[in-house]
Chain A
Amino acid sequence: MTSPALTVRTLTPEQHLDFLRTWTADGGSASFLQTPAWGTVKSEWRRESIGWYDPSGRLVGAGLVLYRQLPKVKRYLAYLPEGPVLDWDAEDLRVYLNPMVRHLKKAGAFGVRMGPPVVTRRWDAAAVKQGVADASVRRLGDVPPSERSQAGARVVSQLQELGWRPQQVEGGFAAGQPQYNFQIPLRDAGGAARTGEDVLAGMNQQWRRNIKKAAKAGVEVTHGTPADLPAFHELYALTAERDHFTPRPLSYFQTMFSALLAEEPDRIRLYLARHEGDLVAATVWVRVGGHTWYSYGASSTEKRDVRGSNAVQWAMISDSLAAGADVYDLRGITDTLDPDDSHVGLIQFKVGTGGEAVEYAGEWDLPLNPVVYKAFSLYMSRR
């Protein structure tokens, strides 16, 4: 098993973007956290686009690296959120990982953190629902998966072998990207695009009823422009207060929109659901190739009965279908199925869409300087 040696070099944002365009055009998937534009959103960190070249000079992989500096020390954690983008089915991942690690070490990294975009298990809506109903089931892992991925296991098995350490996410959202996500596949098993009716039929009765109810009540969903962001943000801040999470500032969304829109005209959209002129729900939609995401959401406390949230979701799903997307991603869920856990409501809302819970390989660390890495872990645990 001799594989050609790959070399890792810095890419310009243009080279990086070109690679992602080719990659997704060929049916590959890439997270929006791996676009060069995302690096400019995370402006507080040094960023670098890196690429893997094969001996013939062909670009075969790319990654967005965010360098997070350790306080007071000129050493960095090199972080590749939901990446890098490469052939994770490779028999021997050392071919990719070794040159990457060498490159990052030279750049001053004391450790590398990455989130291989690799699925390890899937649970269809029926399995998740059954798990929530079963009192003895506390976590998603207690439910038989509808699919267990050999390719995903091969990645995890190799990372273990190569000394990478899994970052635990048990029992809630960890600091990093979620390991469990909820997605609606927009293609059937044969790869053919599903119809809107088909997706709608997969939803539970309550979802279907609410979507109908919103239409009947006259809820109107429109695409906003960056000029509508203050309105979105006002609603989002109210939602944060109601649901007890810390909101991001308006400027964050403004930066996000300008950066992502500059990269691709249809990379990011703002959706606004209005009822008789009142904004009742607003969401942010992102797309890279065949993958679309519901990224941020807000809803009003008044007029809940007009079901703005369901209406705006349905609009995003329909638009994703129309755009020929492969998957609509409702992003993170926790792995809890405990009815007493506050996170379970989020899952139940997402499960109603008839999609599936998807487990990814999770985030993995490779300490390069054990002493500094240990200091960093200690610092993180005390934060």
Chain B
Amino acid sequence: MPLTLYVDGPRWRTHLQAVRDAHPGIVPVVKGNGYGFGVERLAARAAWLGVDTVAVGMYHEVTPVAAAFHGTVMVLSPWRPFETHVVFDSHVVHTVGRLEDLRALAERAAGSGAKPRVVLERLTSMRRHGFSARDLREAAGLVEGLAVEGVAVHLPISQGSHLTEVNRLMTDVVAAGLATHRVFVSHLTDTELGVLRQSYPDYEFRPRIGTQLWLGDRSALEVRSTVLDVHPVERGDVYGYRSRTAPAAGTILVVSGGTAHGIGLEAPTGGATLKDRAARIAKGGLDAAGFVRSPYTVDGKQRLFAEPPHMQASMLFLSHGAKVPAVGDEVDVRVRFTATTFDQTIISD
């Protein structure tokens, strides 16, 4: 019995359309696990939305996406000379952020007769990939034999306004004197994007949006796990792989969802405040005591793992007095969508 993602179809689709309409030129991002939906489903959904371009994270994602989406597929990971496949596919746009890569790609293109499509990424304060201002100016002279589709700017998710940085980066873009006036941006607020469009009306801004699009309306999404087994225990009873003993009378609940689904594998959350960190230390404390808070909610309360999650199921400890669900019942589970694989996704019509 499965770990299921239930989607309120009408609500979800309405949200998708609303985000699309509010962001002209949107480039949906469909990378990784497809935000829990899978890249193929999102690719098909992007086609339904009528956009002309989607973005994937890695080169191996191009093929499954291209099967369901017939427009342009932009690869966000920067192209490197060791990349061998889909280099010359006409529906693929490569991201390039180093002069040596640009030279290598142009050189390879010269031999093939093809004209690879590229976006030039400008390094931002994120310091992940991309050209410095000086390199971007130099890059403008190295693009012969390549089709430059635009410049990419990948900003951090910052607290303050991005506008100062974006204006500075835009000056670098103008300074490069590229033939294209298209800029792909990530993580700008709608207000920031509006201001930018006003001060650079001669440029086209295309926002790359993932989370806000696919997961922006959480109320349309519900994740539930199936109760697979129920075992009443007394204090001292032995259970589990590691033969632990129950600390008190209660119930061991076996539920679907384990490490194979991404359950119990905690990726650090984005929160970086003191409070967030304190909460994490507190969780570590639970760990030391033998019990860790699980993402499962039973009878209105978030329950503890009875032991670390297994590959495909988890054991929870339900203290005495709680309302015990029956085998086959479903319980709510809170997941990080970008790190979870669901057994099934049910989208209502």
Residue B328 is within 8 A (CB to CB) of chain A in the complex: no
Q: With the chains together, A157 CA to B174 CA distance in Å?
A: 9
CB closest residue in chain A, given B198: A142
Is A258 located at the chain interface by the 8 A CB criterion?
A: no
Partner among B133, B168, B174 whose Cβ is within 8 Å of the Cβ of A148: B174
Kindly list chain A residues whose C-beta atoms are within 8 Å of the C-beta of B175: 150, 153-154, 156-158
B97 CB to nearest A CB, Å = 17
| C-alpha gap A154/B178 in the complex (Å) | 12
Beta-carbon contact of B171 and A148 below 8 Å:
no
> B141 to nearest A CB, angstroms?
11
The interface residues of chain A lying within 8 Å CB-to-CB of B198 are: 142
Contact pick for A161, options B132, B174, B201, CB 8 Å: B132
Bitwise, A147-172 to B at CB < 8 A (1) or not (0) is 01010011011101100000000000
Asked whether B202 lies within 8 Å of A156 as measured between CB atoms, the reply is no
Which A residues lie within 8 Å of B201 (CB)? Answer: 144
B199→A157 contact, CB < 8 A = no
Name the B residues within 8 Å of A153 (CB-CB): 171-172, 174-175
Please state if B174 and A150 are interface contacts (CB–CB under 8 Å): yes
Residues of chain B contacted by A150 (CB below 8 angstroms):
174-175, 177
- The reply on B45 being an interface residue by CB < 8 A is no
Contact A142 B174 (CB under 8 A): no
Q: Are A144 and B202 in contact (CB under 8 A)?
A: yes
For the complex, would chain A's binding face be called helix, strand, loop or mixed by DSSP majority? Answer: helix
Q: Which residue on chain B has the smallest CB distance to residue A155?
A: B175
Is residue A141 within 8 Å, beta carbon to beta carbon, of the partner chain?
yes
A150 and B172 alpha carbons, distance in the complex (Å): 9
Compute the total of residue contacts between A and B using a CB distance below 8 Å: 36
Q: Which residue of A has the minimal Cβ distance to B138?
A: A1
Q: Is A145 an interface residue (CB 8 A)?
A: yes
- The reply to whether B137 and A157 contact each other, CB–CB distance below 8 Å, is yes
Q: Which residues in window 105-161 of B have CB below 8 A to A?
A: 132-134, 137
Q: Which of A142, A145, A153, A156 has the most CB of B within 10 A?
A: A153
What is the size, in residues, of chain B's interface with A at 8 Å between Cβ atoms? 14
Contact A161 B133, beta carbon cutoff 8 Å = yes
Closest to A92 in B: B134
What is the distance, in angstroms, from A139's C-beta to the closest C-beta of chain B? 9
In the complex, A65→B174 CA distance in Å? 30
Give the docked Cα–Cα distance between A160 and B199 (Å). 19
Contacting pair B133 A157 (CB below 8 A): yes
- Bound-state CA distance A161–B199 (Å) is 22
Q: A160 touches which one: B137, B168, B174, B202 (CB < 8 A)? A: B168
Interface residue from A142, A145, A160 paired with B171 (Cβ < 8 Å):
A160
Bound Cα distance from A13 to B137, whole angstroms: 38
Instruction: Give the Cβ gap from B99 to chain A, nearest Cβ, in Å.
Output: 12
CB-CB contacts of B42-74 with A at 8 A, as 1s and 0s?
A: 000000000000000000000000000000000
Q: Is the CB of B133 within 8 A of A160?
A: yes
B168 touches A154 (CB 8 A): no
Give Cα A156–Cα B132 distance, bound, in whole angstroms: 14
A154 touching B137 by the CB < 8 A rule? yes
Give Cα distance in the complex from A156 to B168, angstroms. Answer: 9
In whole angstroms, how far apart are the Cα atoms of A130 and B281 in the complex?
59
In the bound complex, residues from chain B placing their C-beta under 8 Å from that of A142 are: 198-199
- In whole angstroms, how far apart are the Cα atoms of A148 and B137 in the complex? 16
**Given the complex of chains A and B, what is the CA–CA distance between A141 and B198 in angstroms?**
8
CA distance A150 to B176 in the complex (A): 7
A156 proximity list for chain B (CB < 8 A): 171, 175
| Docked complex Cα distance between A161 and B131 (Å) | 13
Distance between A172 CB and nearest chain B CB, rounded to angstroms: 19
Q: Bound state CA distance, A148 and B202, in angstroms?
A: 9
Contacts of A144 in B (CB 8 A): 201-202
Complex interface residues of chain B between 163 and 193 (CB less than 8 A to chain A): 168, 171-172, 174-175, 177
- State whether B177 touches A157 (Cβ < 8 A): no
A141-B199, A144-B202 given; A161·B171 CB < 8 A = no
Q: Mark A110-146, 1 if CB is under 8 A from B, else 0.
A: 0000000000000000000000000000000110110
Contacts of A141 in B (CB 8 A): 199
Complex CA distance for A150 and B175, rounded to whole angstroms: 5
Bound-complex Cα distance A141 to B172 (A): 17
Question: Nearest-CB distance from B275 to chain A (Å)?
Answer: 34
| A160 to B132 CA separation, bound complex (whole angstroms) | 11
| The one of B137, B168, B202 that contacts A145, using a Cβ cutoff of 8 Å | B202
Q: What residues of chain A lie closer than 8 Å to B137, measured between beta carbons?
A: 154, 157
Q: Which residues of A contact B134 (CB under 8 A)?
A: 158, 161
A133 → B minimal CB distance (Å): 16
* Complex interface: chain A residues within 8 A of B168 (CB): 160
Cβ proximity bits A215-242 to B, threshold 8 Å, 1 near / 0 not: 0000000000000000000000000000
Q: Which of B198-213 contact A (CB under 8 A)?
A: 198-199, 201-202
How many Å lie between the Cα of A59 and that of B177 in the bound state? 30
Which residue on chain B has the smallest CB distance to residue A1?
B138
Q: How far is the CA of A154 from the CA of B176 in the complex (A)?
A: 7
**B106 to A: closest C-beta gap in Å:** 19
A residues 318-369 touching B (CB-CB < 8 Å): none
Q: Which residue of B lies closest to A361 (CB)?
A: B171
The complex places the Cα of A351 from the Cα of B32 at a distance, in Å, of 55
Q: Nearest Cβ in chain B — how far from A88, in angstroms?
A: 12
Contact with B along A288-300 (1 / 0, CB 8 A): 0000000000000
B257 to chain A, nearest CB (A): 50
How many whole Å from B168's CB to the nearest CB in chain A? Answer: 6
How many angstroms between the C-alpha atoms of A157 and B137 in the bound complex?
10
Q: Identify which of residues 152-200 in chain A touch chain B, using a CB-to-CB cut-off of 8 Å.
A: 153-154, 156-158, 160-161
Question: Which residue from chain B places its CB closest to the CB of A141 in the assembled complex?
Answer: B199
Known: A144-B202, A157-B133. 15 other contacts (CB 8 A): A141-B199, A142-B198, A145-B202, A148-B174, A150-B175, A153-B174, A154-B137, A154-B177, A156-B171, A157-B171, A157-B175, A158-B175, A160-B168, A160-B172, A161-B133
9 nearest A-B residue pairs (beta carbon): A153-B174, A153-B175, A144-B201, A157-B175, A154-B175, A150-B177, A157-B172, A157-B133, A156-B171
A–B complex contacts, Cβ < 8 Å, 30 sampled: A141-B199, A142-B198, A142-B199, A144-B201, A145-B202, A148-B174, A148-B202, A150-B174, A150-B175, A150-B177, A153-B171, A153-B172, A153-B174, A153-B175, A154-B137, A154-B175, A154-B177, A156-B171, A157-B133, A157-B171, A157-B174, A157-B175, A158-B133, A158-B134, A158-B175, A160-B133, A160-B168, A160-B172, A161-B132, A161-B134
- Give the interface of A toward B (CB within 8 A): 141-142, 144-145, 148, 150, 153-154, 156-158, 160-161
